[in-house]
Amino acid sequence: MTGLQDLLKQGRPVFGSAPWPRHEVDIVVWERAIDALAAGTVTLLSVWGEVGRAHMALLGEADPCIAVLSLECADLVYPSIGRLHPPAIRLERAMRDLFGLNPIGLPDTRPWLDHGRWEGETPPAASYQFLPVDGEGLHQIPVGPVHAGIIEPGHFRFTADGETVVRLEQRLGYVHKGIDWLLAGAPIARAHRIAGRISGDSTVAYGLAFSQAVEAALGIQVPPRAVWLRAIMAEMERIANHLGDFGAICNDASFSIMLAHCAVLRERVLRCANVCFGHRLMMDRIVPGGVDADLDPDRVGLIRDLLAEIGARFPPLVSLYDNMASLQDRTVTTGYLKPDLARRFGAGGYVGRASGRDFDARRSPGYAPYDTLAFTVPVRSDGDVNARVWIRIEEITQSLSMLDQLLKGLPPGDTVTPFDPTGAAGEGIALVEAFRGDLLIWLRIVGGVVERCHARDASWFQWPLLEAVIEGNIVADFPLCNKSFNCSYSGHDL
């Protein structure tokens, strides 16, 4: 059993990586790390590249629980992680598209984010080979990239046997905006604005992760009041998104009154955010060094009113959900995700927690102020759409309680630590809990500008699992399964 500590002992620590270490390793240690991933003794947090170098971030159990291993890739090749550990496959395909690093032994060598259009040409439609399907009576249903609803673009290729889906293959990358290369060389302030727009629904979480990574890299201490205000925004974002999802999942089972009620509550959260923080989605309010907003006592009162309103109106909606046989008929046993798959893929958020993966970045590795708050992390093992709904319901309840504690304990003082980025240098990592799961940002600052920044949305490990859970379900249940995952296209396509 090779743990994270054993791997680190065999590498050379890189100076200036905070708060977790990064080690340069040779090819032997890199292969050992892949074996450890395949054996399940460590969990993959991300894989990314830069010119001439591949990195993997790992999650272990002892302290330090997180570390980055880096391999210099002479001749632009390196041993593939996905060869033995499938969760890495899409990340490695993307890394090859973006940085030209060739993973030796990668089972799937098709491009992923690169659709062959970046140089301005239009490739023939058939140039992307979907996986072959063979069997009597099977038919295919191509969906997207433009979907019927108000949602992001992506292509789903269903193979069905009558009503039953026997395989789903996703093709993503349609909203690839070149974020990795836009961030490279950007001044910190500009990079921060871009990071806040990687996935709009998680703009607070991205602002938080980016800021924490910059602060770690440059050794900036954030004032306590700012830390508390950040958590208030993060929990408001979580509640707003979970409310939206709860309504939308029920709506996909044609129970639209739930959407009507949840949309009202969601709108109340956004309006409160607008009055308190000056933006409905609280975009750009968390900044490196602190926050660009403050709460006076009147506004604290507004958030209290909001908590009271949701506290009164939400429980009847939950009992309606729980007692409506026609709804339960659609959500219970639908889209079952095996706990073993959730564990192997390191599935974050409600996807992992509904399938027995007891992980929440707010608790472990943990970050302030959550170490001072009382909260529980809901975990279930039934793994179906219903379980993912219930995790959201319980997380809303937890977030309401956290907001109550945060408002009571809000310390006085400054809201930002000013810093001068001129000439600053360092490396930082942050792992924060966005509403859909753990979000990792790693960056290196050289001469006051971001040299390289990598963001890994929870969606990277959730999208492939959606392909797995739809198998054996009817086509009509796909919207329910999809909404219960609610993966980000933009956060994934970058």
Q: What is the footprint of another protein within residues 407-426 (CB under 8 A)? A: none
Q: Single out the residue of 257, 275, 308, 332 in contact with another protein (rule: CB under 8 A).
A: 257
Q: For the range 25-33, what are the long-range contacts, defined as Cβ-Cβ under 8 Å and sequence gap of 24 or more?
A: 25/69, 25/70, 25/71, 26/71, 27/71, 27/78, 27/79, 29/69, 30/69, 30/71, 30/78, 30/79, 31/79, 32/2, 32/7, 33/2, 33/7, 33/58, 33/69
Q: Single out the residue of 15, 62, 126, 319 in contact with another protein (rule: CB under 8 A).
A: 319
CB of residue 169 to another protein, shortest distance in Å: 17
The verdict on 264 binding another protein (CB under 8 A) reads yes
Tokens of 123: 């490739």
Q: Single out the residue of 193, 299, 338, 363 in contact with another protein (rule: CB under 8 A).
A: 193
Backbone angles phi, psi at 221, to 5 degrees: -90, 130
Across the strands, what pairs with 17? 427
Distance of CA 150 to the CA centre of its chain: 21
The verdict on 281 binding another protein (CB under 8 A) reads yes
Closer residue to another protein, CB minimum distance, 12 or 177: 177
Name the CA radius of gyration of the chain, rounded: 22
**C-beta neighbour count of 322 within 10 angstroms:** 13
CB of residue 199 to another protein, shortest distance in Å: 6
Buried b (16+ CB within 10 A) or exposed e, 16-37: ebbbbbbbebeeebbebbbebb
Total residues interacting with another protein, rule: CB under 8 A: 55
Between CA 250 and CA 40 the distance in angstroms is 35
Per CB under 8 A, the segment of 5-13, 149-157, 298-306, 382-390 that binds another protein is 149-157
CB of residue 357 to another protein, shortest distance in Å: 25
Q: Single out the residue of 398, 399, 482, 488 in contact with another protein (rule: CB under 8 A).
A: 488
Asked if 439 and 432 touch (Cβ cutoff 8 Å), the reply is yes
Q: Single out the residue of 50, 201, 394, 438 in contact with another protein (rule: CB under 8 A).
A: 201
Distance of CA 376 to the CA centre of its chain: 20
Asked if 289 and 416 touch (Cβ cutoff 8 Å), the reply is yes
* Site track for another protein across 107-146, x = CB under 8 A: ------x-x-xx-x-x----------------------xx
CB of residue 137 to another protein, shortest distance in Å: 28
The verdict on 157 binding another protein (CB under 8 A) reads no
Across the strands, what pairs with 78? 103
Q: What is the footprint of another protein within residues 74-113 (CB under 8 A)? A: 113
* Contacting positions for another protein (CB under 8 A): 113, 115, 117-118, 120, 122, 145-146, 148-153, 173-179, 181-182, 190, 193-194, 197-201, 203, 244, 257, 260-261, 263-264, 266-267, 270, 274, 280-281, 283, 313, 316-317, 319-320, 323, 488-490, 493
